[in-house]
Amino acid sequence: MGHAKTSFKASVMAAAAIAMSAPGIVSAQSTIGARSGTGTHFHLMQLSVKSEEVPLQRFREETQTIRDCGDAREVGEALGADIRKNRWVPAWKIPKRVKAVLEEVETGQTTGVFSNEPGIMRVIVICHRL
């Protein structure tokens, strides 16, 4: 998965997308003992849409209404989004740059719209911090 680095924010958001989609990087379902240990764990949801099917303005406006993961699922389904959920993600497994972005996002809120591949727009929702 090679990525061209364009800006700091773009690279951070690309790392977030990779982290959400690549098994074993931050997906706790594939990590033995993910529920053990101390520290923060995240439940994350990622919504992805094709920009040719959903205009950026609509995607941005719709995702800004999200207040929890129930909203995220409803908005995602209404937009025809690919919905990915990762539970019990330990903070120590999240790359530092991605963790810095997530620390700025309130629980139940979304990151800004980002893209790490042409034609795809994404947001990440923090469902829970445990």
Q: What CATH number is attached to the domain comprising 119?
A: 3.10.50
pLDDT of 38 above 60: yes
Structure tokens belonging to residue 42: 């995240």
In a domain? residue 10: no
DSSP 23: T
For residue 17, tell me if it sits in a domain. Answer: no
Residue 89 is assigned to a structural domain of this protein: yes
pLDDT at 124 over 70: yes
Q: pLDDT value at position 97?
A: 83
25-29, 91-95, 123-127: range with highest mean pLDDT: 123-127
Higher pLDDT, 3 or 50: 50
Residue 74's domain comprises: 39-129
Answer yes or no: is 57 within a domain: yes
The model's pLDDT over 47-67, given as tens digits with 9 standing for 90+, comes to 999 999 999 999 999 999 999
Which pLDDT score is estimated for 16?
54
Whether residue 21 lies inside any domain: the answer is no
Q: Is 100 strand, coil or helix? A: helix
Alpha helices in 1-130 (DSSP H): 8-21, 56-63, 69-79, 96-103
Q: Note whether 72 and 47 are within 8 A (CB).
A: yes
User: Is residue 9 domain-resident?
Assistant: no
Number of domains the chain contains: 1
* Within-domain flag for 103: yes
| Residue 44, in any domain of the structure | yes
